[in-house]
Structure 1
Amino acid sequence: MPLSHTEIVRLIDVSCVRTDVTYREVEQIAAAAIKYNFICAFAMPCYTEKLGELLKDSPVMLGGVAGFPSGADTVAQKVDCARYMKSVGCKEIDMVINVGALQSGDDVYVHNDIKKVVEAVYPIPVKSILECAYLSDEEIIRACNIAVEAGVSFVKSGTGWAAKPATVETIKIMKNAVGDKTSIKAAGGVRSLAVLEEMYAAGCRRFGIGLRSALGILKEAYQREGKPFEEIN
């Protein structure tokens, strides 16, 4: 059964997490998140407090990132960043795992890296960003299992910075790995309603999407329902 536009907005974390994001874009994303009732909004760390101020008194959650985008920060740096995000009002934290440590076979380090962030911001949910574009299927499965053991609330396909987009096949691999133990978030390359719904059918329950693509998907949903879509100014 197709998702309604009201269901879709509660699946989307609308984001502005590129290098070239301006103050104006942060303002636009806040306005759009409030207007369309997206579930959560994310910006780069230096803009997160500003975004939170813009979202104040709205039902839209503020999200924060840690170790973004490389995942190669020290554990202490990630913990400090995550605590800062909590202090400015973030209700969810998306942290990037240490991809190099995972590929080096140091699962203990990867587990500790994630677990320290989970413990630092408890009870705020942590989404563990795996950067699947750089991983083999076996590494994706290992990363999912490590993240679940470390106590995350979501495993997330990527930051959206990799050249390779998230795919339905990747979501299926992640879902097979985690089952019902945790939830799945996709990010990077989700630019159409068809892709979003295919990933949803595969088990994905949250999507990190840039503003332009999020509005495009929402417009598709409105049009499918025969309803006018009011563009944001």
Structure 2
Amino acid sequence: MTAKELGGIMGGRILESYYDYAHVSNLVYEALDLGFECIQVFPNMLPKVREVLNGRSLEICAVISYPHGIFLPEQKAFEIGDAIEAGATQVEFVVHNINVRSGNWELVRDEFRTCRKAAGGHVLKAILECEWLTDEMIETVCGLAAEEGIDRVCTSIGVYTRPDENKNDMLIGVEPEDVRKVKAAVRGKVKVVAQGNIDSVSKCRELLEAGADYISSEYAADILRNWE
């Protein structure tokens, strides 16, 4: 895979609140220069993205109910509609994983169905938190995603931590095994996005080899520049 080909399945992102609008502008310029498949931003960043694009073409993904996903389906649907009206061409919502972990599958189905309706024909992505889910939970939630027309399932949000041996908080990153589990669960009906602290060329290669259809990373530009 060439860097250009990788760019075609790569999403760059700003999903932290401490960035300013100069960083948003820079993300847009990097995406245009390096050929990102999309960029992922908070809904409040959409006007700035459109201003910088100034009519140029780029897929813009708005993140919904990020990072914890605990809003009701109706709230997520409102946010999705609002983001699309503001210029988002894709939307990505965090699944209510308390419902997933509790086995409230009809509530999960209702959320997927409500978000799908709100997104209309736009690309709709659902973010799981594979690090907190059992294999059985992943199997079931991915099956529901396929049944309810979700376009892509993302492996994680990438903000949670675990203590290391020295009790220091360490970010949890997506692992190849997470991708393999989701890939098997969707059975070819939904695309798989590897997401969550992908910070190197080697990690990116591992995830692609595990079956990821797309890569989403805040380090997308660095990875593409060092790919070959």
Equivalent-residue separation in structure 1 for 2:194 and 2:22 (angstroms): 26
Q: Tell me which of 136, 139, 164 is aligned to 1:138.
A: 136
SS at match of 2:138: helix
Equivalent-residue separation in structure 2 for 1:117 and 1:216 (angstroms): 33
Give runs of ≥4 in structure 1 deviating > 3 Å: none
Q: Which shifted more, 96-105 or 200-209? A: 200-209
Q: Is the 8 A contact 1:174 1:184 kept in 2?
A: yes
User: Deviations for 1:13-71, whole angstroms, at most 9, x for unmatched residues?
Assistant: 10001121211111111111111121111111211232133224223211111111110
Alignment of 1:107-146 (within 5 A): 107-146=105-144
User: Deviations for 1:185-212, whole angstroms, at most 9, x for unmatched residues?
Assistant: 01112112222222112221111111xx
| TM-score normalised by the chain length of structure 1 | 0.89
User: Deviations for 1:80-137, whole angstroms, at most 9, x for unmatched residues?
Assistant: 0000111122111111110001111100001111110111111111111011122122
Equivalent-residue separation in structure 2 for 1:188 and 1:162 (angstroms): 9
Percent same amino acid among aligned pairs?
A: 23
Number of residue pairs aligned between Structure 1 and Structure 2 = 218
Q: Look up the equivalent residue of 1:157 and give its one-letter code.
A: T
Alignment of 1:135-214 (within 5 A): 135-163=133-161, 164-210=172-218, 213-214=219-220
Which residue does the alignment assign to 1:73? Answer: 71
Q: Is the 8 A contact 1:112 1:150 kept in 2?
A: no
Q: Is the 8 A contact 2:12 2:221 kept in 1?
A: no
Q: Look up the equivalent residue of 2:96 and give its one-letter code.
A: N
Which residue does the alignment assign to 1:229? Answer: none
Equivalent-residue separation in structure 1 for 2:47 and 2:68 (angstroms): 21
Equivalent-residue separation in structure 1 for 2:48 and 2:89 (angstroms): 15
Which residue does the alignment assign to 2:221? Answer: 215
Q: Which shifted more, 48-57 or 96-105? A: 48-57
Deviation at 1:165, TM superposition (A): 0.7
RMSD (CA atoms) = 1.3
- Name structure 2 gaps, 5 residues minimum: 162-171
Equivalent-residue separation in structure 2 for 1:151 and 1:67 (angstroms): 19
SS at match of 2:40: strand
Which residue does the alignment assign to 1:227? Answer: none
Q: Is the 8 A contact 1:27 1:54 kept in 2?
A: yes
User: Deviations for 1:149-187, whole angstroms, at most 9, x for unmatched residues?
Assistant: 121000111122122110100000011111211100011
The reply to whether residue 87 of structure 1 matches residue 85 of structure 2 is yes
Q: Look up the equivalent residue of 1:214 and give its one-letter code.
A: A
Q: Is the 8 A contact 2:46 2:87 kept in 1?
A: no
